[in-house]
C-alpha cells in the first residue's frame, strides 16, 4: 500500500508545543465533512481537528488516554478516554482545550453518533451505553445516560456503525459482535466472531467493503490491514497500525 498523506503535531506552529507533545501515538482518526477535515485522537492525550490535506489545526485539546473522538451536532465533539482518563469529555469546537462537560466511564474506547436515533453510543470495558443530548441549545449541554448494555466479554476496543443497517459492530478482547440498535441485542459477527485482538473495523458506506486491524500476537498493533469478502492481507511497511478508517472521495 502506498502512503499518500500523513500528519504529525510535533514541529508544527499549531497546536502549542505542550499540546503537540501529546500526539505520541494516534489511536483514532475520523474523516468528517465530506473528507475535508479529520478528527484525531492519541493515547498520549492529544486531540485535534485538522483540515485535509493542509493539516492546519482548527481545534485541539488534551484528554489523558484519549482513544476515540466523534463529531456531534452543533459543532461539538466527544472524546472517549481510556485507562488513566476513564471518562467521556465534551468540547465545543469554538474553544480549544476547555471541556464543557465530563462523565466517568471506565476504559472508554469508542463513540458513535447515531443521527437517525438521536443518540450517542459509547463503548467501555464491558458495557455499551446509550446517551441522549441534554440542554443542547444552552451554555451547559450534557449527555444523559439512557441505557447500559453488557458486552459479550471484556476489553471493548472499537465501535462502528454499519451503513444502511441498525447494527453496530463492536470489537472486544476475544471476539467481534453485532449490536442491533433497535432490539438492543448482541449477536456474534458472522465473519469476525472468535477473532481475538481485533482493534478496529471500518465499512465502506457504498460498497460495504470491510477492512479491519488485528493485532499481531502478542502486540497491540499490526503491520498490515486485512479485508473481508474477499479475505486478503495488505502489508504496510514501516507502520504500527491500530485503527483503519475509510477516507471517502471529497465532493467538489
Tally of domains in the chain: 2
Q: Do 115 and 240 fall into the same domain?
A: no
Residue 217 within a domain: yes
Cβ pair 25, 10 in contact under 8 A: no
CA neighbor of 40 nearest in space, from 218, 245, 221, 223:
245
CA neighbor of 216 nearest in space, from 240, 246, 245, 244:
240
Residue 3 within a domain: no
Q: What is the pLDDT, as a whole number, of residue 2?
A: 81
Q: Do 184 and 109 fall into the same domain?
A: no
> Residues near 4 by Cβ (< 8 Å), separated by ≥ 6?
none
Q: Do 111 and 167 fall into the same domain?
A: no
**Which of 121, 150, 179 corresponds to the end of one domain?**
150
Give pLDDT tens digits for 200-212. 999 999 999 999 9
Q: Do 144 and 160 fall into the same domain?
A: no
Q: Do 143 and 170 fall into the same domain?
A: no
Cell numbers for 154, please give them: 471484556
What is the reported pTM?
A: 0.95
Q: Do 159 and 102 fall into the same domain?
A: no
Q: Do 23 and 97 fall into the same domain?
A: yes
Q: Do 146 and 209 fall into the same domain?
A: no
Structural domain for 165, as ranges? 155-252
* Stretches in the chain below the pLDDT threshold 70: 249-252
Percent of the chain with pLDDT over 90: 91
Q: What is the pLDDT, as a whole number, of residue 230?
A: 83
Q: What is the pLDDT, as a whole number, of residue 249?
A: 65
Longest dimension (CA), the chain: 49
Residue 36 within a domain: yes
Q: What is the pLDDT, as a whole number, of residue 58?
A: 97
Q: Do 141 and 242 fall into the same domain?
A: no
CA neighbor of 200 nearest in space, from 172, 228, 180:
172
CA distance 77 to 59: 10
Q: Do 107 and 122 fall into the same domain?
A: yes
Q: Do 236 and 182 fall into the same domain?
A: yes
Amino acid at each position: 500500500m502506498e502512503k499518500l498523506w500523513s500528519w504529525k503535531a510535533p514541529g508544527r506552529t499549531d497546536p502549542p508545543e505542550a499540546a503537540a507533545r501529546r500526539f505520541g501515538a494516534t489511536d483514532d482518526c475520523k474523516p468528517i465533512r465530506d473528507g475535508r477535515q479529520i478528527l484525531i485522537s492519541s493515547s498520549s492525550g492529544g486531540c485535534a481537528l485538522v483540515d485535509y490535506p493542509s493539516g492546519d489545526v482548527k481545534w485541539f485539546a488534551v484528554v489523558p488516554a484519549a482513544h476515540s473522538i466523534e463529531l456531534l451536532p452543533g459543532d461539538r465533539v466527544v472524546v472517549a478516554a481510556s485507562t488513566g482518563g476513564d471518562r467521556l469529555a465534551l468540547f465545543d469546537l469554538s474553544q480549544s482545550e476547555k471541556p464543557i462537560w465530563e462523565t466517568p466511564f471506565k476504559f472508554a474506547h469508542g463513540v458513535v453518533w447515531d443521527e437517525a436515533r438521536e443518540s450517542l453510543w459509547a463503548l467501555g470495558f464491558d458495557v455499551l451505553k446509550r446517551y441522549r443530548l441534554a440542554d443542547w441549545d444552552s451554555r451547559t449541554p450534557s449527555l444523559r445516560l439512557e441505557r447500559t448494555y453488557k458486552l459479550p466479554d471484556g476489553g471493548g476496543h472499537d465501535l462502528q456503525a454499519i451503513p444502511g443497517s441498525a447494527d453496530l459492530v463492536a470489537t472486544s478482547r476475544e471476539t467481534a459482535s453485532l449490536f442491533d440498535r433497535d432490539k438492543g441485542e448482541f449477536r456474534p459477527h458472522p465473519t469476525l466472531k472468535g477473532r481475538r485482538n481485533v482493534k478496529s473495523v471500518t465499512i465502506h458506506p457504498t460498497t460495504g467493503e470491510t477492512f479491519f486491524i488485528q493485532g499481531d500476537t502478542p502486540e497491540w498493533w499490526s503491520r498490515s490491514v486485512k479485508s473481508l469478502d474477499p479475505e486478503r492481507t495488505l502489508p504496510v511497511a514501516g507502520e504500527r497500525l491500530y485503527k483503519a478508517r475509510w477516507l471517502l472521495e471529497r465532493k467538489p
